[in-house]
Amino acid sequence: DVDYLDVCAFSCRNLLFRARDYLEELLKKGCHIRILISKQGSAAAIDSYTKKSTGGSLKQRERVITQSYEDLLDWQDEYPEYFEGKTTEEFLPCAIMIVRRKNTIQSTIKVDYYSFNCPDDQRRCVLIPARDTENYNFYKDQFEWLWDKGEPVKNKDDETQ
């Protein structure tokens, strides 16, 4: 019963790659998905993979954004009517996942605060129900502001036209 899934995060690699079956199920049911990631090479991306990510070498962590960008392109090609991807140069202090359901009172937002050099399993996370309207709207508006400033992902062929 999910109508919309909006996510902004450093790379969304876990969602785009590891949760592929879940995303495909949502898309096949007509869910609209928008994903915003850090722009490759931006100061915000460099900050994220050097200070906010753990595990692996810096080169491996840097590659995560490139791989995520390619995943966004694949998803857009496969589901052009339901999937949109964008990149941003804005610094992302937290990851935001908005799950908007048909029954709006059941909608939730998960806010995952990045902690410098903190393992993923020790990061702070907050789940905000739609009935907490002040906080829910704050993070929903924050996502929309970032989304509006983002740049659509494009294939190299699209950029030459």
H helix and E strand count, the chain? 6, 7
Residue 48 has pLDDT above 50, yes or no: yes
- Supply the pLDDT for residue 159: 54
- Supply the pLDDT for residue 58: 65
Chain centroid to Cα 136, Å, comes to 17
- Supply the pLDDT for residue 11: 82
| Strand, coil or helix: 111 | strand
- Supply the pLDDT for residue 14: 78
For 81-138, the pLDDT digits (tens) are 999 999 999 988 888 999 999 999 999 999 988 766 666 666 678 999 999 999 999 9
Q: What confidence tier does 53 reach under pLDDT thresholds 50, 70, 90?
A: low
